[in-house]
Chain A
Amino acid sequence: DVKVTQSSRYLVKRTGEKVFLECVQDMDHENMFWYRQDPGLGLRLIYFSYDVKMKEKGDIPEGYSVSREKKERFSLILESASTNQTSMYLCASSLRAVGELFFGEGSRLTVL
C-alpha cells in the first residue's frame, strides 16, 4: 500500500521558533509538494520538488523553505514561525507531473 508519512500530526509552537515538518514517501515518486490548507482558501502550494535537491516556489513561499536531500524525503522549514502560519500542512507526492496526488495525513500547526 502506498504511503506518504508526515512526522507530526499536531504541533504547538511559539512565535519565532524554528519549525521542521518532515514528509517521507515510499513510492519512489519524483514529485513532492507542500501545501497549506485554510478554511475558505482551499489548498495553496508552498513549494514543490521534482527531483533531489531541486525545488520550485509555489504560490505562497514567503516565510518557508524546503529541503530535498533524498528522493523519498521532503522537509518544510519555518525559519521563524508566526501566528499567521497556523494552519494544516499537507505533503503530497506524485509519480508524474499530472498523475494522481497522494497525500500524507497532514500536520496541524498552531503558532502561539
Chain B
Amino acid sequence: RKEVEQDPGPFNVPEGATVAFNCTYSNSASQSFFWYRQDCRKEPKLLMSVYSSGNEDGRFTAQLNRASQYISLLIRDSKLSDSATYLCVVSANTGNQFYFGTGTSLTVIP
C-alpha cells in the first residue's frame, strides 16, 4: 500500500467553481502535512501547511482528519491561475522522510 494516495484527476472546472481534493495516508504516526503546488515543468512549491484545527488562506482551506487519516484542500472561486498539479505531502517524525502523493491535476477553464 502506498504511503500517500491521491486521486490523479484530471479535474476540469469552470472559473468560479469550488473544487476539493482529498488525500489519504497510511502511517498513523504521521506528524506533518502539507499541500504543494507544482506548475508544468517547474518545481513543487509550498501552498500551505495543514494543521489539526484546519487552516485557511484566502480562497484555500486545508483540513486534517486524523481519525480517518486524510487531508483535504478546498479551492473556492477558482481562477485560471489555479491550474496546476497539487501534491499532498506527509511526514512522520522519524527518518527525515517526506511522502508524496502522485498529485492531482487541476485545469480551470474560462
Contacts and interface: CB of A to CB of B under 8 A. Distances in A.
B49 A100 contact: yes
B100 A105 contact: no
Contacts of B46: 100-101
Q: How large is the interface on B (under 10, 10 to 19, 20 to 34, 35 or more residues)?
A: 20 to 34
B2 to A, nearest CB: 9
Given A98-B31, A100-B46, A101-B89, A42 B102 contact: yes
Contacts of A48: 96-97
Nearest to B98: A101
A41 B102 contact: yes
A97 B91 contact: yes
Contacts, number: 55
Nearest to B91: A98
Question: Which of A40, A97, A103, A108 has its CB near the most chain B CB atoms (within 10 A)?
Answer: A97
Q: How large is the interface on A (under 10, 10 to 19, 20 to 34, 35 or more residues)?
A: 20 to 34
A10 B36 CA distance: 23
B49 A97 contact: no
Interface of B: 8, 31-32, 34, 36, 41-46, 49, 87, 89, 91-98, 100-103
Interface of A: 31, 33, 35, 40-43, 45, 48, 50, 56, 58, 90, 94, 97-101, 103-106, 108
17 contacts: A33-B98, A43-B100, A56-B95, A97-B93, A97-B94, A98-B91, A99-B32, A100-B34, A101-B34, A101-B46, A103-B43, A103-B45, A104-B43, A105-B42, A105-B43, A106-B41, A106-B42
